[in-house]
Amino acid sequence: MKKFCLITLLCAAVFSVKAQNTAPGFDQTNSQFSVNLAVLSNNTRSSADNLFEEGERYERFGDFDSAAFMFNKAANEYRLDKKYNLYGTTLIRLSNVYLSQANFTEAEHVVLKQVLKNYARTGSKSGQMSAYQQLGKIYLAANKLPQALWFYTQHGILAQQLQDKNAYIESVLGIVSVKIKKKDYLLASKDLNTVELLSKNANTVQYNQIIKNNRALIAEKTISKKG
């Protein structure tokens, strides 16, 4: 019996020492678990994801040449991985970089020759809609107003088919921008009224400032025209 009690006390003492040594160990285990999760998260990222992130970083800093290089590499990686939606999205970001450089030819080429071809192959209407919107932006910036109007209109048609209210509002705003450049201020104002109504029906306020800015621009242009 004495031997049994001695063994029990010894075990208790060992357990107590172990508990003291590992008292902070619970936090260490949790810390290690977090590290493992972070490593696992990093491991699930592809090289294309990393390249895309680098492209975004360069774009934020205004280093458009480096951004274009990274987005181009990321797009090629996504294509090789057969991630065609990400491939198309990255190409549109690449086109945006060219647009920021006022390199309209390259911006247009990427969308017409690569993005639209990609979405035609995958049958993605939402992707095609994004491509039309991008082309509207490019042609508007390049002052090719008939082309810009056509692509914003196609953008709106697809938005209606997909029942995407925000995309449809954006298509009408694109058309407003074209009409302002064409000095069709009355028609642009009517379209802004439509946008305002659509925004209220969609219960969104995200376009309110854009509407306000366009109204102010129309008022300014109208006054200067009269002067």
Closest to 86 in 3D by CA, of 50, 49, 55: 49
Q: Which residue has the tokens 């920021």?
A: 100
H or E element, residue 53: helix 47-60
78-100: pLDDT as tens digits = 999 999 999 999 999 999 999 99
Q: Which residue has the tokens 């390199």?
A: 103
Looking at every residue in the chain, the average pLDDT score rounds to 86
**Alpha carbon of 125 to those of 61, 157, 172: distances in Å?**
33, 11, 18
- Do 88 and 118 contact (CB within 8 A), yes or no? yes
Residues of the chain with CATH 1.25.40.10: 47-122, 124-227
124-227 carries CATH number 1.25.40.10: yes
Strand segments, DSSP code E, in 56-188 are none
Query: Right CATH number for 47-122 from 3.20.20.370, 1.25.40.10, 2.30.110.10, 1.10.10.10?
Result: 1.25.40.10
107-160: pLDDT as tens digits = 999 999 999 999 999 999 999 999 999 999 999 999 999 999 999 999 999 999
- DSSP letter (8 states) at residue 31: H
148-187: pLDDT as tens digits = 999 999 999 999 999 999 999 999 999 999 999 999 999 9
Cα 40 to the chain's mean position, in Å?
A: 25
